Chains A and B, each alone.
Chain A
Amino acid sequence: MAQAPHAPQEPTEGSKPRRGRVGVRVVGRPDSLEQRLYLPEVLRGLGVTMRHFFANVVGRKYTVTVQYPEEKAPYPERFRGLHRLMHREDGSVRCVACMLCPTACPAHCITIVAEDTGDGKEKRPKIFEIDELRCVVCGLCVEACPCDAIRMDTGRHAPAVVHRGDAILGKVDLLKLGGPSQATQGGKGATWREEQ
């Protein structure tokens, strides 16, 4: 009974699986002379590895390695990376210091100290700090933000730092990573229904 070593045997009378139950694959012991000699299978195995070896040496045919620092595997579009703060048209920060993101943050990594802009309407953050070492990269701050001020779409990892303090990004750093946002901001205030 010469058989391929890994071919499933037809279930015999006694072990025939009944409908609705988990099927059992009966694998026989290697009985044929060819299998018990071991040598043909060894040579076949060597053939497989040799094929891979030569194909990879000559043309890197099967290799899948990504040489990390030089090449990078592309991240998915919605990958959450380092935070950034978006700009208004005039380049100032879009954040209005509403405190929704530090409230939503489960790791308490966002610190905001608000200050008055002086225009009688809005606040702005005097201090906006994110401790990237505490951040759990959940993205809840982005979800919470009503102003499209904070985003995590830089595609960058939290940086490797020598001192823990260096991992705390301030407002200036975060704004440097940011750019202008097209989202409408300001709105019409609480009276928008009446104006319609």
Chain B
Amino acid sequence: MLEFLIEHTWLQALIKMALLILAFVMPLASLSTWAERRQSAMMQDRLGPNRAELRLGSIELRLWGILHFVADALKMVFKEDVVPARANRFLFGLAPILAIAPVIITFAIIPFGSDLCVGHAFEVLRDPASMCTSTIPLQVARIDQGFLFYFALASLAVYGTTLAGWASYNKWSLLGGLRASSQMMSYEVTMGLSLMGAFLIYGTLEPHAMVLAQGPTPSSWGIVTQPLAFFIFLTAAIAETKRAPFDLPEGEPEIIGYFVEYSGMRFGIFFLAEFVETIFLAAVVTTVFLGGWQVPWLYPDGFHLMGWTLELPHLAVVLIQLVVWSLKIIVLCWLQLLIRWTLPRFRPDQLMRLGWKQLLPASLINIVVTAGVVLARSGGR
């Protein structure tokens, strides 16, 4: 069975993708819809939705209102699906898919654990290089282009929003779609350039290699070596997810956005895409700046800290790494929600000024300085 899996990497990839999306990303995205409302309530001294409950006979499960997302999903599915009379039906239906598909596909490049060493699950890996002959990488696709693949697919998400605005046959949604496309294109430039410094330091574009290069010592993680890039990338990437304070493409309460004409589950998909993007952003920040699945001072054979050692079997190491990776992502999602509910929205001109006149030069300076330091360290060769 395992041999079959190792030989057929496409089957491996399918299983890993299904596990990653169905067991981690989608549950987390659904929970974020609840977390967003509860967290914002807590930040604003309210209680938030806490009344959805499950009645099983005499047992009432309330679970702090977590079940609200089930109620939401049911509502969305059963709502009437309205397509405007003069809308382009094909593009109208295609837009939500184009909005969510690129984000889900790009999860393929995210490494979520160190390589599984087949046949040594319960042993301590003292010498991984010679012991591990056959491995299962905990990453769906290990492609050398790595982050270039991400940037390429992220720009495809622009089509989803622009087409949604255009296909609705509504001036306001068209304007919203234009705002969205101008914002996303502007910030993609900064997003790419801000990661360039990290590429220079780690000498690779491949996420797994980047995580390995950061190692289990937090002082060599990206947030320490590239602090400016961390802030620039976080800002640009939040702008890319189109959430407050950069939510002027949609602006739910007053300015009308690109998905006004969408109802029911089509709207739900846009909504979900936003949360999946949030999780993906957290995953990228974790990979580049927070050491990915690396746990502080956890090496393949166990913890090593200042001469003190705790040996752990391989499977335990991988499980700890998986849990810590998930925790990092959850904390970053929480941070994004905190930012989203703290900062007021930008004006379009402020948005453009921040993107082109402040973040872009800052990221260029970051590249030049990083390149200089990398060159000096390598002895000028």
Taking beta carbons and an 8 Å cutoff, which residues of A are in contact with B?
Answer: 39, 42, 45-46, 48-50, 52-53, 56-57, 62-65, 67
Contacts and interface: CB of A to CB of B under 8 A. Distances in A.
A53 B47 contact: no
Given A45-B342, A46-B338, A46-B342, A52 B44 contact: yes
B42 A52 contact: yes
Contacts of A39: 231
B43 A53 contact: yes
B273 to A, nearest CB: 25
A53 B42 contact: yes
- Describe A's contact surface by its main secondary structure: helix
Interface in B226-271: 231
Interface of B: 39, 42-47, 231, 338-339, 341-343
Contacts of B338: 46, 49-50, 53
A30 to B, nearest CB: 12
Nearest to A48: B342
Contacts of A64: 45
Given A49-B338, A50-B338, A52-B42, A67 B231 contact: no
Nearest to A36: B358
Given A46-B339, A49-B338, A56-B43, 6 more contacts: A46-B338, A50-B43, A57-B42, A63-B42, A63-B47, A67-B47
Contacts of A65: 46-47
A138 B339 CA distance: 48
A49 B341 contact: yes
A45 B47 contact: no
A163 B343 CA distance: 48
Contacts of B46: 63, 65
A56 B342 contact: no
A58 B43 CA distance: 12
Nearest to B339: A46
Contacts of A57: 42
A78 B43 CA distance: 36
Contacts of B45: 52, 56, 62-64
A42 to B, nearest CB: 6
24 contacts: A39-B231, A42-B342, A42-B343, A45-B342, A45-B343, A46-B338, A46-B339, A46-B342, A49-B338, A49-B341, A49-B342, A50-B338, A52-B44, A52-B45, A53-B39, A53-B42, A53-B338, A56-B42, A56-B43, A63-B42, A63-B45, A63-B46, A63-B47, A65-B46
Among A42, A48, A64, A67, the most chain B Cβ lie within 10 Å of the Cβ of A42
Contacts of B44: 52
Contacts of B47: 63, 65, 67
A148 B130 CA distance: 98
A187 B286 CA distance: 87
Contacts of A63: 42, 45-47
Contacts of B43: 49-50, 52-53, 56
Contacts of B342: 42, 45-46, 48-49
A32 to B, nearest CB: 16
B12 to A, nearest CB: 40
Nearest to A58: B42
A46 B39 CA distance: 13
A122 to B, nearest CB: 53
B334 to A, nearest CB: 9
Nearest to B48: A65
Contacts of A52: 42-45
Contacts of A49: 43, 338, 341-342
